[in-house]
Amino acid sequence: MPKRLPERKCVGCGALKPKNELARIVLSPEGEFIVDPTGKAPGRGAYICRNKDCLRRAEKNRGLEKSFRRSISHLVYEKLGRLIDE
């Protein structure tokens, strides 16, 4: 029986996808939002598809605010948009 890949839900579109296909966004212990390419950074994490459409949806439906239980500035979304494309 093959090993099952862990799935996570995108905060933008709500689709369940394998964890390795999504970008992890972390609220670090210092209070900074970062894109975590390793998936192992400390802090609370949320997952999002690696495209700008899902980031726009997450901003519209307040997906990251709900995941992190705090308000998030529009500037953070712009920063994440630049980092997700990399």
- Name all domains of the chain by residue range, CATH numbers in brackets: 7-85 (3.30.1230.10)
> The pTM is what?
0.87
Q: What is the mean pLDDT of residues 56-75?
A: 91
Q: Which residues contact 39 (CB under 8 A, 6 or more apart)?
A: 19, 20, 24, 45
Report the alpha-carbon distance of residue 8 to residue 24 in Å, rounded: 10
The encoded tokens of residue 7 equal: 């799935």
Judged against a pLDDT cut of 80, whether residue 85 lies above it is answered with no
Pairing of strands 7-9, 44-49: unpaired
Q: Looking up tokens 């998030």, which residue turns up?
A: 72
Q: What is the mean pLDDT of residues 44-69?
A: 92
Amino acid at 31: G
Residue 75, pLDDT score: 85
Q: What is the mean pLDDT of the chain?
A: 89
